[in-house]
Structure 1
Amino acid sequence: MSNDIICNGNAANLPSLNVVKTPIKYEMDPAGNFDWLLHIYYARQDFSSCEALIDQLLDTQLNPEYLYFVRGQIRRNQEKYYEALKYFQLAINLNSKNIENFKEIGKTLYLMGRYEQALEVYREAEELSNRPDNEIFHFIGEILLLSDNPNSRQEAKQYFQKAVEHGKMIDSFKRLAELHRQEKDYSKAVEVLEACLQISPESTEILTEISVLYLKINETQKAFDKLLNVTDINAGCPLGLLAFGAILQSRGDVDGALAKYKQIHGCDNVETSELWNNVGLCFFKKKKNFVAISCLRKSVWLAPLNYNALYNMSLIYITAKQYASGFHTLAAAISLRKESAECYMLLGICLQKLKDNENALLAFERSSGLVKPNMKSPLVFLNSAIFLYQMGKTEAAAVNFNNFVEESKEFVLSTELKFQATKLKAMLQQSNCESLVESLGRLDEENENEKDNLPLEVTAKVMVTPQKLNN
């Protein structure tokens, strides 16, 4: 190809434009600091390049503390814990005031299951640190939770509170909220998780957990608003849909709840005991008892130790007049919660229907004895009073009836329960029971705040989170 061009009518000859590029060679200065390059390799999880660079620099650097530190982290990622401890110890030998080395040793010991030694290391790091360190506080709290000492739980709570105040570790917020929830301080748990939302405002897990806690304190509208945020972020969030369905179910919108549960069932690999429990209760509300029992059997099959599912299934068995099946299911539920007054009450009903009055009496007496002062279980006393009256034990029936009247003061009674209570009172008065209360007039009075109270009845347990055995 010619390089000539025509310029002003004359041919002009141009020089060649070929450019020869000389490759640039980078040479590593033996005295230079390449910690930045090592950090980049480690952040990329390029451990082979890390190892090669460490081997190259170990002989040249006068203070290879960071090299040992990174190699220790690599060994821990490879689950070579003893080698990791060796390298972290070499780093401490070079700089005994760097708390990061102590934190990594503590974390390694924690992963090895050597909790007491890990706690000692973190305590030492806490003393050496010249400023509050949220990571140290968090791991001390985690280790204290694993202790058998009952006082350690409160100390762990204090450390998680410190971690929340001095850092932004989401796990610390979750742990602290979980401890408040286990103590049934739901308002405090909500406060902690609301603060966590400032760090991660689009976390569907945290938003759903807040909505569940709002449900526990009967703030259904706030729970509904949080779940709307969940569906805006992720319309197919299974736990959000489950909580959404539970709210609709509690409001009596069974068809709307079933629609939400159907969306969960359409998700891949999402099939939980809680889902089938709630679906079963929807069919129970529709008076389709046999379909409800099938759903609850599925729930129990997925989680045999789910107390709520067993309790609900026994309730439906009794409604369907399958008393023998109800007895066996209640026996399984009681084995999980031996202090459940409601379970013993239902067991007494089953035994009464099965003509075993002697054991039914023991079950009713057990249920009445399990009611604690802070528990409001008036229905336990009413059923016990009715059974005792039928057995001819009028004085004992009157005592239970008086307990029922006292316990039911904070409830709005359904029409059926008012009728049964008034009828039982009349029968006891005909028996001239001296211990019977004089009046049941309050049962016929209308409560001005009726809409803010729950009707007194044996209620099924709608579930929005997996049931824990220690609750």
Structure 2
Amino acid sequence: RKYAARPSLGKALCDFLIYHNHNPRKAIELAAHATTLLQYEDWWWKSRLGKCYYMLNLYREAEQQLRSSLKNQKMISTYLDLCKVYLRLDQPKHALDVYKEALEEFPDETDLLLATARTHDMVYEQDLAMIYYRKVLQINPVCIEAIASLASNFFYLDKTEVALKFYQRLVEMGESSAELWNNLGMCCFHASQYDMTLSCLQKALHLAEDEVAAEIMYNIGQVGIGIGDLGLAYQSLKVAISINPKHGEAYNNLGVLELRKGNPKAARENFEMSRRLSPETFEPFFNGALFAFKVGDFQQSYALVKECKSIYENHTDTDELLQKLEKYLA
């Protein structure tokens, strides 16, 4: 109560309890006294109450306090905190509605635009996300998150040359990380700029920690397969697995290479390991089904094909293999 009656000191203490001590319960006690003393008219204390309730996973109470705070004073930080509450409640539509309301009050605020874009990305509305990322760049042309997100979206839209320009822009701005050089290398590869691909991936390896290094070695394996250097691909995938023994996609590709080397037993084991580690991907199921079909194990092949169909319904090669199996098993 003593600190609640002294606004400047009380606010500093409240933030200290939240951000330094991570003690939201004490902060709630202080904020509640201060709010009562100020006759429930101070937006700042209400916003801190909302933040504390959020930290305690009391999301409905947090929503109530943040909305009350917005009635007293519309603030960007309060809008962002309210949207975080809705996202934790798994209500992205409500969060987008709040962002829209906030942007009517603060139309050129990049934090709100970025948060809106992230939320659209979260619900797989990439087209809308890209619109907001572009708006951010119109206001702040050096926003790293917007540039990187647009680059990623263009890459997955098969516009690798455009994505390459965005990643090059990040390098020109002085950014340097394993992830950036890895993405730049893969853009070069898909844009058929093979001379730059391996040098970019090599730089990525120099900057990478173990978990990221496994992904980079896997990508080098992909490059090796793409340019026909199966020796490089085989060695890279082996290294990826040695760094991360749970890399399911690497086991799948390694199985294909083992099959080409004439090692069917090793190929089968790799496909099985890939299915265990990456049950959400269809490739190891299809490769396992095709392998079983070629060795005459039609029952196993049929079971794996059905699994593959449940993961990826519109895979043409799976449909063709299923038709062949149905003829044999009819």
Normalising TM by the smaller chain, what interval? 0.7 to 0.9
State how far apart, in whole Å, the 2-side matches of 1:252 and 1:104 are. Answer: 50
1:385 CA drift (Å): 0.8
State how far apart, in whole Å, the 1-side matches of 2:277 and 2:13 are. Answer: 49
**Superposition pairs for residues 97-108 of structure 1, below 5 Å?**
103-108=11-16
Q: Does 1:400 align with 2:304?
A: yes
State how far apart, in whole Å, the 2-side matches of 1:370 and 1:184 are. Answer: 27
State how far apart, in whole Å, the 2-side matches of 1:141 and 1:258 are. Answer: 43
Q: Secondary structure at the match of 1:252?
A: coil
Specify whether residues 182 and 254 from structure 1 end up closer, same or farther in structure 2 by C-alpha distance, changes over 3 A only.
farther
State how far apart, in whole Å, the 2-side matches of 1:261 and 1:348 are. Answer: 33
Q: Does 1:384 align with 2:288?
A: yes
Q: Secondary structure at the match of 1:278?
A: helix
1:124 CA drift (Å): 1.7
Specify whether residues 225 and 109 from structure 1 end up closer, same or farther in structure 2 by C-alpha distance, changes over 3 A only.
closer
**Match 1:137 to one of 45, 49, 67:** 49
Residue number in structure 1 paired with 2:240: 329
1:344 CA drift (Å): 4.3
Q: Secondary structure at the match of 2:52?
A: helix
1:382 CA drift (Å): 0.9
1:252 alignment partner AA: D
Q: Deviations over 1:228-279 (max 9, x none)?
A: 3223212333332223333333333332332333333222x32344433332
1:238 alignment partner AA: I
**Superposition pairs for residues 33-432 of structure 1, below 5 Å?**
93=2, 103-110=11-18, 112-113=20-21, 115=22, 118-128=23-33, 129-130=35-36, 131=40, 133-141=45-53, 144=55, 152=56, 154-155=57-58, 157-158=59-60, 160-162=62-64, 164-165=66-67, 166-167=69-70, 168=74, 170-171=76-77, 173-174=79-80, 177=83, 187-198=93-104, 200-267=106-173, 269-289=174-194, 291-304=196-209, 305-306=211-212, 309=216, 312-320=219-227, 321=230, 322-332=233-243, 334=244, 338=246, 342-353=249-260, 357-369=264-276, 375=280, 377-409=281-313, 411=314, 413=315, 418-419=316-317, 421-423=319-321, 425-426=323-324, 428=325, 432=328
TM-score (norm: length of structure 1)? 0.54
Q: How many residues align?
A: 313
Q: Secondary structure at the match of 1:236?
A: coil
1:319 alignment partner AA: G
2:283 alignment partner AA: L
Specify whether residues 250 and 370 from structure 1 end up closer, same or farther in structure 2 by C-alpha distance, changes over 3 A only.
closer
1:325 CA drift (Å): 0.7
More helix by share: 2
Specify whether residues 299 and 189 from structure 1 end up closer, same or farther in structure 2 by C-alpha distance, changes over 3 A only.
farther
2:300 alignment partner AA: A
2:169 alignment partner AA: Q
State how far apart, in whole Å, the 2-side matches of 1:177 and 1:331 are. Answer: 42
Q: Deviations over 1:409-456 (max 9, x none)?
A: 3x4x3xxxx246525752x457x44xxxx6xxxxxxxxxxxxxxxxxx
Kept after mapping to 1: 8 A contact 2:51/2:81: no
Q: Secondary structure at the match of 1:384?
A: helix
2:207 alignment partner AA: L
* 258-267 vs 175-184, greater mean Cα deviation: 175-184
Kept after mapping to 1: 8 A contact 2:14/2:31: no
Specify whether residues 140 and 390 from structure 1 end up closer, same or farther in structure 2 by C-alpha distance, changes over 3 A only.
same
Kept after mapping to 1: 8 A contact 2:272/2:284: no
1:366 CA drift (Å): 3.5
Q: Secondary structure at the match of 1:270?
A: coil
1:384 alignment partner AA: G
Specify whether residues 107 and 233 from structure 1 end up closer, same or farther in structure 2 by C-alpha distance, changes over 3 A only.
closer
1:383 CA drift (Å): 1.6
1:403 CA drift (Å): 1.9
1:400 CA drift (Å): 0.2
Return the index of the structure with the highest Cα Rg.
1
Kept after mapping to 2: 8 A contact 1:283/1:292: yes
| Percent sequence identity over aligned pairs | 19
1:402 CA drift (Å): 2.0
Q: Deviations over 1:7-39 (max 9, x none)?
A: xxxxxxxxxxxxxxxxxxxxxxxxxxxxxxxxx
Specify whether residues 330 and 231 from structure 1 end up closer, same or farther in structure 2 by C-alpha distance, changes over 3 A only.
same
Kept after mapping to 2: 8 A contact 1:245/1:256: yes
Specify whether residues 256 and 398 from structure 1 end up closer, same or farther in structure 2 by C-alpha distance, changes over 3 A only.
same
Q: Deviations over 1:282-317 (max 9, x none)?
A: 222234456334323433443434376565444334
Task: Please report the RMSD computed on the Cα atoms of aligned residues, expressed in angstroms.
Answer: 3.9
State how far apart, in whole Å, the 1-side matches of 2:47 and 2:130 are. Answer: 34
State how far apart, in whole Å, the 2-side matches of 1:350 and 1:192 are. Answer: 51
1:140 CA drift (Å): 1.5
Q: Secondary structure at the match of 1:295?
A: helix
Kept after mapping to 2: 8 A contact 1:170/1:196: yes
1:396 CA drift (Å): 1.4
Specify whether residues 370 and 172 from structure 1 end up closer, same or farther in structure 2 by C-alpha distance, changes over 3 A only.
farther
1:324 alignment partner AA: Q
State how far apart, in whole Å, the 2-side matches of 1:183 and 1:309 are. Answer: 35
User: Please, which runs of 5 or more residues in structure 1 have no aligned partner?
Assistant: 1-91, 145-151, 439-471
TM-score (norm: length of structure 2)? 0.73
